[in-house]
Chains A and B, each alone.
Chain A
Amino acid sequence: MFSLNKKTPTNLPLIGVGLRHNHFEDALNTPANIDFIEVHAENFFANGGASHAVLTDISQHYKISLHATSLGLGSALPAPQNQLDQLTNLVERYQPILLSDHACFSWAESENASVHAGDLLPVPFNDESLSIMVRNVERAQMQLGRKILVENLSAYIELPGSTYSEAEFLVKLCHQSGCKLLVDLNNLIVNAINQPLTTLTSEQIDSESTIDVLAHAKHWLDKIPAELVGEIHLAGCTPVGSEQLMIDDHGQPVSDDVWHLYHYALQKFGPIATLIEWDENLPTWQVLIAEADKAKSIAINVFSAEYEKSDSKKTLEVVHNDS
């Protein structure tokens, strides 16, 4: 048990880290200068047991954000009601400050049965997908009694049939369903790196093998109105195979490209709650927290004028109180 007073000033974004099983003990016993903890909702779908006991303890120290990975909001086959019920129970129990899932499909019918992919699979960006995703998001929001955030995907296949860009599609989704976006900057970088491999022919790849990844990602961000962004995710990625496809495995430190893009995103969107995700090759708790510190220092840099004003105001308040 510990007391925690070093929270982020109100004019800076809330900074959090994703919590995985290996760090449960550290999160409980080692004070960290972070504002919230984000957990995968499905890891707490059990009715009881140790995971709930730990999360209940952790929620005494940090605000909780719930990140769902299984609703498959773009699925033509809707998620079963008991799945939504379980998520609702979790939301009621932990009262998360943020609640999110992905712009993907996970449910489909196969051999006359509902099958769950266990993955975040891409959808084409067209009116049919949009209509289905709006319906599913509205259903989830109605059941959960609150707005949710929908995250952009890292996708390794571009399905045929898109009539919108991803950014256009997501903006339409927000306007029609009332949800907001969780913008994963690493996913933008991963998709930009992989784009030649997922959309171009071999000949085109040879001739267009250099793509300006950062410019591509910034162009994506430029299409998103600031008021639609509710959270930012930062993570690392790993190249695999002879094709050097970049995998969004959250198994590395946040890349330089993503840090650069984060600076740009904060300038564009303002102080948006930010999460460091690290799921594979987990580092020590200290290394994870150091990534959060780096995010905070970038935010201070972006909002330095306001930060200094707020800091000096607090100093004056302390002096006044002491006198």
Chain B
Amino acid sequence: MTLKQQQTQMLSTIFSLDALQKTSNEGDSNNLSAGMKIYQHSLLANASRALAITFATVHSFVGETDFTLLVKTYLKKHLKAQYDWGELGQEFADFIRQQSLKNSGVLAAIADLDFACHHTERAEDVEKDLTTLSLLNDFDAYQLTINFSAGFKVLKLNYPVDLVVEDIKQANEINSKLTTHDIEQQLNNTENGEYYYLIWRPNFQAQYQQITQHEFQWLTLWQSLPSLAARSQPSIGSALDKVTNETFSIIDWLPKAIEQQLVSSISTLTSD
């Protein structure tokens, strides 16, 4: 057996996370299995800890025991490709959605929101310079672009998760536990459909809020090019040209966006 094969075999055994069977390579000692169990235990403990940080709301809702069970099944289904524990869990929301859990849909939507917030908090810092707002007076809208706060993104979900998350937080504050029945009650009072969320990071902590469909469409124009150089970003003028809904008003939106520190600065588009 080559070293590569030996390493693949050991890794597969660890990720099986099942009761260990003796294999020919492990010799005749039960104690080798005891060692392998330590690696399995370590994998599950580390993954649970990492995902409990990333999916803090899901973790607080389902509790430690059920969360660990979820993580164990997740690890067996989605082999860990990430070397950074902070990046683990890209498929966790979809995985939850596919589980035969009561309210798995809303739990998955909460996981989507958790993951978006987590990524926003890890995003590259963006320098704020509100003095650049004066450029709005001096340049044409087709020469200017908006620089948003670190990690800003928008999300479309099928549930009003902000209401459920608020209930979970309130239940946690009084050391109570929200049940799936409570969630159903909460969802019964809301309309079926699509809910739009803005996630951004004014400082170090991610924030989110429900936004209108019109704001979602406007912000999507900017989110689609988050990492490109300034000259590749749309101008304010060209973005406004793409807004089809007449009820959206940048005059109303901009002061609010500045106040909540969603806008970090305004800059001119270079032409070359």
Residues of A within 8 A of B (CB): 42-43, 45-50, 52-53, 70, 75-77, 79-80, 83, 86, 105-111, 113-119, 121, 123-124, 128-129, 132, 155-157, 159-161, 194, 197-198, 200-202, 205, 240-241, 243, 245, 247
Contacts and interface: CB of A to CB of B under 8 A. Distances in A.
CB-based closest 4 A-B pairs? A156-B35, A46-B122, A48-B125, A76-B4
Given A123-B3, A247-B38, 10 more contacts: A42-B84, A42-B86, A43-B86, A49-B201, A76-B2, A113-B79, A121-B39, A128-B2, A156-B34, A157-B36
A235 to B, nearest CB: 16
Interface of B: 2-4, 6-8, 10-12, 14-15, 25, 27-32, 34-36, 38-39, 42-43, 46-47, 79-87, 121-125, 150-151, 201, 204-205
B220 to A, nearest CB: 22
Contacts of B32: 157, 198
Contacts of A121: 7, 10-11, 14, 39
B5 to A, nearest CB: 9
A217 to B, nearest CB: 19
Centre residue among A43, A110, A161 by max chain B CB count within 10 A: A110
A315 B30 CA distance: 62
A83 B82 CA distance: 10
Contacts, number: 143
Contacts of A43: 86
Contact of A49 (B6, B85, B87, B123): B123
Contacts of B14: 117, 119, 121
A200 B150 CA distance: 55
A92 B204 CA distance: 23
Contacts of B28: 201
A312 B84 CA distance: 49
A139 B213 CA distance: 50
Contacts of B30: 202
A309 B74 CA distance: 61
Nearest to A121: B10
Contact of A128 (B3, B25, B34, B47): B3
A81 B124 CA distance: 20
11 contacts: A42-B84, A46-B121, A48-B125, A83-B83, A115-B15, A116-B81, A117-B14, A117-B39, A119-B39, A157-B10, A240-B38
Contact of A109 (B4, B25, B47, B84): B4
Contacts of A47: 122-125
B47 A108 contact: no
B125 A52 contact: yes
Given A119-B46, A197-B34, A202-B29, A156 B122 contact: no
A159 B122 contact: no
B125 A124 contact: no
A54 B38 CA distance: 33
